[in-house]
Amino acid sequence: MKTTITTLAAFASIASAHFTLEFPTVRGFDEDKLTQFPCGSFDTAGVKGRTPFPMTGGEIALTMGHDQSQIEVLIAIGNDPGSAFNTVIKSPISQTGLGAFCMTGISIPSTLNVTEGQNATIQVLTNGDPTGGLYNCADITFSSTATMPSTSVCRNNTGVTAVAASADTHPNGTATGTTTGDASATSASSGASATATKNAAVRNLGAEVGGLVLAGAAALAIVL
């Protein structure tokens, strides 16, 4: 009985955080202000120090509190780059499952010409509840000797999976405005309708915080 209640409490607390950024070190976290572009209400760079981050083979560790999320990662170069998150370093993915999720093999595009010791800010962007965006940022310094987190931090929880999603739309619903140049009118329109279908599917999931906890409580009630 006691164990059951503890389990429910743990489940509820995981479900109540939209998502948290575990690595690199987040600039700040306010659950209620995660919807505020560009950094969940933490607008000044460097206040929590900077995490050394490599130019290739980087890792970004999250804890997911929605059972389904759209995720994208962008970067802005500079000491306090404001909202200039103009470069994608992880194209949009559709992620499923609660708890630890760690993106690996992150490379900084060579077109940015970044150099050792240069500063930048990483923005992890997910869809909201279910629309709009949720934002966590981390301030970094490029370092070829950066150490990545341990496997207890950078890991995928059991059952956590991800697949590529449409690159036409940021998870916050804003069109990316980039054209690949080879997209014909036909493929562009089928891409748009695929995105619309996907967004509808996300809405229809209805497995938001309240639903999750209720579903969990219902399952436990059956057990009890």
User: Which residue among 18, 27, 90, 170 contacts Cu ion (CB under 5 A)?
Assistant: 18
Report whether 224 contacts 4 (CB < 8 A): yes
Q: How far is the CB of 65 from Cu ion (least distance, A)?
A: 6
Q: How far is the CB of 16 from ligand NAG (least distance, A)?
A: 23
The residue whose two tokens read 């409490």 is: 9
Rounded to 5 degrees, φ, ψ at 66 are: -110, 145
Report whether 24 contacts 142 (CB < 8 A): no
Decide whether 91 or 187 has the Cβ nearer to ligand NAG. 91
Q: How far is the CB of 114 from ligand NAG (least distance, A)?
A: 9
Q: How far is the CB of 111 from ligand NAG (least distance, A)?
A: 6
Q: How far is the CB of 54 from ligand NAG (least distance, A)?
A: 15
Decide whether 16 or 187 has the Cβ nearer to Cu ion. 16
Residue 190 binds which one of Cu ion, ligand NAG, none, with CB within 5 to 8 A depending on kind?
none
What residues make contact with ligand NAG under the rule CB under 6 A?
37-38, 46, 50, 74, 79, 85, 102, 104, 111-113, 117-119, 123, 125, 133, 141, 154-156, 161-162, 170, 172, 174
Determine the Cα–Cα distance for residues 174 and 129; give it in Å rounded to an integer. 15
Determine the Cα–Cα distance for residues 113 and 117; give it in Å rounded to an integer. 12
Determine the Cα–Cα distance for residues 136 and 114; give it in Å rounded to an integer. 22
Report which secondary-structure segment, H or E, holds 102. strand 99-106
Decide whether 135 or 142 has the Cβ nearer to Cu ion. 135
Rounded to 5 degrees, φ, ψ at 203 are: -60, -45
User: Is 80 among the residues that bind Cu ion (CB under 5 A)?
Assistant: no
Rounded to 5°, the CA angle 171-173-178 comes to 85
What residues make contact with Cu ion under the rule CB under 5 A? Answer: 18, 129
